[in-house]
Structure 1
Amino acid sequence: MTGPSSVVLETHIEKLPLKQPFHITGYTFTECDALVVTLRDGELTGRGEGLGVYYRHDTPTAMIRQVEALRGLIEGGVTREQVLSLLPAGGARNALDCALWDLEAKRRNASVWQLAGIAEPRPLLTTYTLSADAPAEVETAARELKGAKAIKLKLTNDPLNAERVKAARRACPDAWLMVDANQGFTRDTLRDVVPTFIDAGVAVIEQPFPIGQEALFDGFDCPIPFAADESVQDRSDLARLVGRVQIINIKLDKCGGLTAGLALAREAGKLGFQLMVGNMGGTSWSMGPAFVLGSLCSVVDLDGPMFIRADRNPAISYQEGRVWCPDEVWGGPRNVAA
């Protein structure tokens, strides 16, 4: 797409308070900040949202500076392909890239999934995520999940992980279950808890070891597939994960947008990895582009809006454990300005 000079760029940062604190290894979140990029072309509007990557200090304040530095190029009609070289992987490129996709869909009167050459979307089974709380709180929260058929349980670097997994399984005996350590394990602590994972029917172990310590996977005897999240930011990280993990978690804030995410998915697939789509939180404007990518993935984790106090209107929907993004939420052909 080449945009005409009539494009007007708007940027702002929105605070998104969470319903309650959310705990993972090394962090407790009470809110998240999102960069919103809006591109206006007459009555047509394209939007993108980026939260950045907290553990890389990719903050919305830095992100908005990155986008504003390109204002002249953007309003002159920058293309998505040009943006790949103008901005590094991260939240700023994600927000801008997704706004360009959304605007292109309006201009061409087609859905983003059609522009991307992906099959018509369907509701996707998504995980519902549980915070790394005390086991009793995990069990209570799991019992309160409405319609969840798949659960992602956060774990952390403390002695309570086995009890957390048992609690989640007691509460949801029939749910598909994965665990996410967010880099919190050593080989010894993981080895100690793997028998509990097996007994509980855990299907995937996500990012057990810290970034840069991927060699810890070598020779680790575990029948449960491993997924890489923090260890894979973009395509340059794939080669060192071959033979070490089975699943790649693609997040648009990490790789820098839907354009890069689709390219990462293609390359990871060629290398034999299964695909997962995740999120850094956010509203339905973050989930919409990831939902498009989700059609290519065997694991989907797109529950971010469930944790914030208020979502967009219209918003994506969660029913019977599945997520659905209508065209009017993001990426559709409708010619609506706001």
Structure 2
Amino acid sequence: MELKTYKYKLELKNTFRISHTARDFQETLIVALSDGGFTGYGEAAATSYYGVDVESMSASIKAIEPLIAENIHKTPEELWEITNKHFKGNSFAQCALDIAMHDLYGKRNGKPLYELWGLELKDLPLSNYTIGIDTLEVMVQKIKEFPWPLYKIKLGTEEDVKIIRELRKHTDAIFRVDANCAWTADQTIEYAPIMKELGVEFLEQPLPAGDMEGMQKVYKESVLPVIADESCITEADVSKCAGYFHGVNVKLTKCGGLTPARRMIAEARKLGMKVMVGCMTESTVGISAIGQLLPLLDYVDMDGGLLIKNDIAEGVKVSDGKTHFPNRNGTGAKLIIFTEELKNE
């Protein structure tokens, strides 16, 4: 077995702003896990919001390299359980390893992951394209420059309703609104009917994650469905969101990879909730992993590769909102740009 980690600095096409941060670059970790002539690739993007950097993720994975080697021929789910105790508080690192292991497992077995899971590529949800917070003129210009059937609009300003009204003048596309915890319950309930009339499909995480009393009020009174993001991080959070949200947004990095994500999707279904999977600003390595889950989802946000100038991989791609799968096994990801391996010395 051979384990390598790489650090990349992804350059964004535009400054990406949400209610609590802005950035022009995204650092990301790539894990390459090789055994028996096959290499599986995994990814996790760094984020200051969750206190995660590439170096610490790489170090935590390299620290258990002997354990990984000892169990490399087990299933991805078995390896996840064996290594989980070593990743407490570091789900991003576990995600990168878990995706790499799944990719390796699929390649060994000669099939794409979705086939190994018994899924078919039919009735797949369209991916949205994200418009970050900016001046109204810039947000309009982004829509004009990138025609798309479905947009996620990042909000959290003093002029949120005005923004949606203006954007609606320039496209017939479906809107989804993500306030990233910036609203109050009363604001959400007030905005919802206006935004529904303007073609908004649902509201994502309008309130701060801890405001469950406010979310219960929103759940009962909002005319638009509400989807949990920051309120749904781990597997245990899914059941906590029932009765407060109409659905959950599962993110692989936050929960620890494909292994727990599939369990979260199953749990949400049992509870009668809608399911979305979202991305960070990731390369096609991470996006290809999300793509394997599409037949299980109601909604998906997998535009990460579209938001960067220097994509480092080939694989599952999104075009006109639709997802296109390569004729490759595992996740379908293939690294095409290599950088210096991280040594973690």
For normalisation by structure 1, the TM-score amounts to 0.90
> Do the aligned partners of 1:52 and 1:92 also contact (CA within 8 Å) in 2?
no
Look up the SS of the partner of 1:238 in the other structure: helix
* Matches of 1:150 and 1:117, distance apart in 2: 28
Q: Output the CA distance in 1 between the equivalents of 2:251 and 2:298.
A: 14
Structure 1 residue 327: Cα displacement: 4.0
Report which stretch shifted further, 323-332 or 298-307: 323-332
Deviation at 1:191, TM superposition (A): 3.6
Deviation of the 1:84 alpha carbon: 3.5
Partners of 1:328 and 1:263 in 2: how far apart? 25
Q: Partner letter of residue 112 of structure 2?
A: S
Amino acid corresponding to residue 118 of structure 1 in structure 2: L
Is the partner of 2:206 in helix, strand or coil?
coil
1:29: which partner in 2?
23
Letter in 2 for 1:299: Y
Distance in 1 of aligned mates of 2:139 and 2:216: 31
Question: Given the alignment of the two structures, is residue 176 of structure 1 paired with residue 174 of structure 2, yes or no?
Answer: yes
Q: How does 1:147-158 map to 2 (within 5 A)?
A: 148-156=148-156, 158=157
Q: Does 1:58 align with 2:59?
A: no
Name the SS of the counterpart of 1:218 in structure 2.
Answer: helix
Written as runs of structure 1 = structure 2, the 5 A alignment for 1:94-133 is: 94-120=95-121, 124-133=125-134
Contact 1:25 1:181 in 2 (8 A): yes
Q: Distance in 1 between matches of 2:299 and 2:153?
A: 14
Indicate conservation of the 8 Å contact 2:7/2:54, yes or no: yes
Identify which of 198, 201, 210 aligns with 1:200. 198
Alpha-carbon contact 1:204-1:224 (below 8 Å) kept: yes
Partner SS state of residue 266, structure 1: helix
Residue deviations 1:26-61 (CA, integer Å, cap 9, x gap): 100211111111111142111101115542212222
SS at match of 1:171: coil
Structure 1 segments of 4+ aligned residues over 4 angstroms from their partners: 121-124
**Residues 90-117 of structure 1: per-residue CA shift (max 9 Å, x gap):** 2101110011011111111121112223
Are the counterparts in 2 of residues 229 and 249 from structure 1 also a CA contact under 8 Å? yes
SS at match of 2:236: helix
Preserved CA contact (<8 Å) 1:285 1:330: no
CA drift of 1:123 comes to 5.8
- What runs of 5+ residues in structure 1 fail to find an aligned partner? 1-6
Shift of residue 326, structure 1, vs aligned partner: 1.7
Report the equivalent of 1:4.
none
1:217 has 2:221 as partner = no
Over 3 Å counting, the alpha-carbon distance change for 1:257 and 1:222 in structure 2 is same
Q: Secondary structure of 2:169's partner?
A: helix
In structure 2, relative to structure 1, the CA distance for the partners of 1:285 and 1:95 (3 Å cut) is: same
User: Kindly, what percent of the aligned residue pairs are identical?
Assistant: 29
Instruction: List per-residue Cα deviations over 1:109-156 (Å, max 9, x = no partner).
Output: 12111222322467641101101112222222112223x111100001
Gaps of 5+ in 2: 73-78, 339-345
Aligned partner of 2:165 in structure 1 is 166
**Structure 2 residue aligned with 1:231:** 231
Which residue of structure 2 lines up, in the alignment, with residue 143 of structure 1? Answer: 144
1:239–1:33 Cα change, 3 Å: same
The residue identity in structure 1 corresponding to 2:136 is P
Q: 2:122 and 2:332 mapped to 1: Cα distance?
A: 12
Change (3 A) 1:34 1:333: closer
Q: Give aligned pairs, total.
A: 327
Shift of 1:81: 3.3
Residues in 1 aligned to 2:246 and 2:191: alpha-carbon distance in whole angstroms: 20
Distance 2:313 2:59 in 1: 27
How big is the alpha-carbon RMSD for the aligned residues of Structure 1 and Structure 2? 2.2
Instruction: Measure how far apart 1:69 and its partner are.
Output: 1.1
Query: Contact 1:15 / 1:31 at 8 angstroms: preserved in 2?
Result: yes
SS at match of 1:66: helix
Q: Hey, what's the Cα distance between the residues in 2 that align with 1:107 and 1:279?
A: 26
Deviates more, 1:186-195 or 1:303-312: 186-195
